Chain A
Amino acid sequence: SQQGEEDPQALSIQEGENATMNCSYKTSINNLQWYRQNSGRGLVHLILIRSNEREKHSGRLRVTLDTSKKSSSLLITASRAADTASYFCATDEEAAGNKLTFGGGTRVLVKP
């Protein structure tokens, strides 16, 4: 079973709008990571947020982590057509040793 579950499964927005996607997980984590995957490509790391952090920024990306609710959100501000991709969260569970568990992803379509 997947540790991280993204919501929504798919998202369609206009260029310039913000895109928000959420990730929920079940057990205690060391950190949570967000990745982007363009169609037919490998995954590219976006942001890593540790369990003792609440918010991180990277350019137009903002990630929050609420360990009490076991959830994280990824916000993409002022979206561009090039942001069209699938976005995955991955959790590093405390009890799972050296493993990352990926969610099913959110497919984001940014229309020009």
Chain B
Amino acid sequence: NAGVTQTPKFQVLKTGQSMTLQCAQDMNHEYMSWYRQDPGMGLRLIHYSVGAGITDQGEVPNGYNVSRSTTEDFPLRLLSAAPSQTSVYFCASSYSREAGAQETQYFGPGTRLLVL
């Protein structure tokens, strides 16, 4: 299994541009999520999905959109990039258990985004 894959590895955008960060997993995980990590800090949850067709907001959702049309894919869209969105973005997936009980998260390698 490839696990969780993310593309691109690195991206430079100009303010106002839009782009999509791709995330895919081949472990048949129902739960997928997007985090951002800023220098010297932990991860902050942007959006998450408990299954195909279901998405919800995390801690810092503004400026980002997600969709979950298949179990495997969970793209993150930046609508109009801002310098404050310069960060490292991680996608993660896990088996889904009963509500409120999170299991081991499997992380992708990350996408480094620089917004000028």
CA distance A35 to B37 in the complex (A): 14
Give per-residue flags for B93-116: 1 if the beta carbon is below 8 A from chain A beta carbons, else 0: 000100111111111111000000
CB <8 Å contact, A88 and B107: no
Q: How many A-B residue pairs have CB under 8 A?
A: 70
In Å, the complex CA distance between A99 and B50 comes to 10
Q: Which one of B40-48, B66-74, B78-86 contacts A?
A: B40-48
- Size range of the chain A interface in the assembly: 20 to 34
Q: A97-B99, A99-B45 are in contact. Are A45 and B40 (CB under 8 A)?
A: no
Q: Provide the bound-state CA to CA distance between A104 and B38, in Å.
A: 10
Assembly CA distance A97 to B31 (angstroms) = 12
User: In the complex, given contacts A30-B100, A42-B107, A104-B41, what are 11 additional A-B residue pairs having Cβ atoms less than 8 angstroms apart?
Assistant: A31-B101, A35-B107, A40-B110, A43-B105, A45-B104, A48-B104, A88-B42, A92-B101, A97-B99, A98-B100, A99-B102
Q: List residues of chain B with CB under 8 Å of any chain A CB.
A: 4, 31, 33, 35, 40-45, 48, 50, 56, 58-59, 90, 92, 96, 99-110
